[in-house]
Copies of this chain bind each other. A is one copy, B any other.
């Protein structure tokens, strides 16, 4: 294992310290590194809290800031944050209007966020994300996995919260966005969890894992490496089969690198996905291209499509200012 680390068990703590130092204009690191929260809170705004295992950075801590999350709770690598962490984050950022939890659908996350919600006694609502069309159940999830589409939910609900939307309204919006968002990914290599010290799975020099999960979980099938055009066509095809948008639907196309894939390749996948979408009569209204929901050093990418309407487009376009996502609206 070759990594820029000091010790496997210090990875998350030390990375959080570096993150908090580098983005001290936006975030504050909570006590005992339980969470990262916005430096300044907006009284009366519903507080958005997310989190999950580390190793997917910049998700979620890179999305804490104006127009997106109020706090993010990082667990150890690929390990859920504890209920105690989540409850502490909720208490730190709830200014009286309640909290909305945004939680990727993995058993550990669901359980721990639900326990934290109980500890907070009725002031919490939750949105679960399950945008991964690859498989119906998986290693760590009953039902579909929450993956890169979680970013879309966090951005859009974050914009609505900033604009003053009410607690239940934000939960309904989050469910609506999740329901209109689909993702599928492909891995070219495994990731290596620092504490394990070896690749999560073995894969041949000419093989891919089609439909891989963001922890390196199995997808639909092990297959031979194909061209970018063929891979994008498979991913977009699987998404469209499931999402079934009407021709003419305006979509967000989000091409997301898993951590070990250069931008040069991501944009080849953008071109390839656009070819398929153009052929299917789906309009790309917005693009997002970057490595934002990662799996440590895994090579590969996911494609996310979100079917936008005027409201969702407006909220997507609203200003955001976080460590990893910034635009002016």
Contact = CB atoms under 8 A, between A and B. Distances in A.
A189 to B, nearest CB: 7
A184 to B, nearest CB: 14
B2 A188 contact: yes
A140 interface: no
Contacts of A261: 4, 297
Interface residues of A, number: 62
B262 A259 contact: yes
Contacts of A165: none
A5 B268 contact: yes
Contact of A264 (B23, B57, B270, B287): B57
Given A12-B264, A14-B228, A263-B294, 8 more contacts: A4-B231, A14-B268, A15-B271, A54-B264, A57-B264, A58-B263, A321-B328, A326-B328
B270 A21 contact: yes
Nearest to A59: B263
A205 B301 contact: no
Contacts of A268: 4-6, 11, 14-15, 18
Contacts of A62: 263
A18 B269 contact: yes
A15 to B, nearest CB: 4
A265 interface: yes
A15 B297 contact: no
